[in-house]
Amino acid sequence: MVGVSILGQDMLVINTEEIAVELLDKKSLKYSDRPNVAMAGELVGWKDSLGMLSLGDRFRKHRKMIHQVIGTPATTAKHHAVQEREVRQLLVKLLEAPHDFAKHIRRYVQL
């Protein structure tokens, strides 16, 4: 194993499969977590989104709730009609006013 720091981010390079399996599979709860991204989490206000949560009880509860809604093929199939309608609407808007691309896309990414 080799430790390096790149642009202030510490990294561990694992060069054998045995060590990788030991650390990532057998001891994953101890060693894995998400990095703290202050700009997205604190300043932008996304700290409570699933992608920004640290591993733990709160993360597991959020992941479980999301899985109940979109976690299986059966649950995602419920949303196909809405997705198809929205895609058609987006394509029509893009054809009618391609110069407003950012405006059209913004509708689908608002939080």
Same-domain status, 69 and 47: yes
Q: Domain residues for 106?
A: 79-111
How many angstroms separate the CA atoms of 64 and 36, rounded?
A: 22
**What band does 19 get if pLDDT is binned at 50, 70 and 90?**
confident
**What band does 110 get if pLDDT is binned at 50, 70 and 90?**
low
How many angstroms separate the CA atoms of 111 and 101, rounded?
A: 18
Same-domain status, 85 and 108: yes
Record the pTM: 0.47
| Backbone φ, ψ for residue 11 (5° rounding) | -135, 150
Q: Which amino acid is at 38?
A: A
Same-domain status, 22 and 46: no
Same-domain status, 43 and 71: yes
Same-domain status, 89 and 104: yes
pLDDT at 44 over 80: no
Spell out where the chain has E strands: 2-6, 9-13
Count of domains forming the chain: 3
Q: Is 99 helix (H, G, I), strand (E, B) or coil?
A: helix
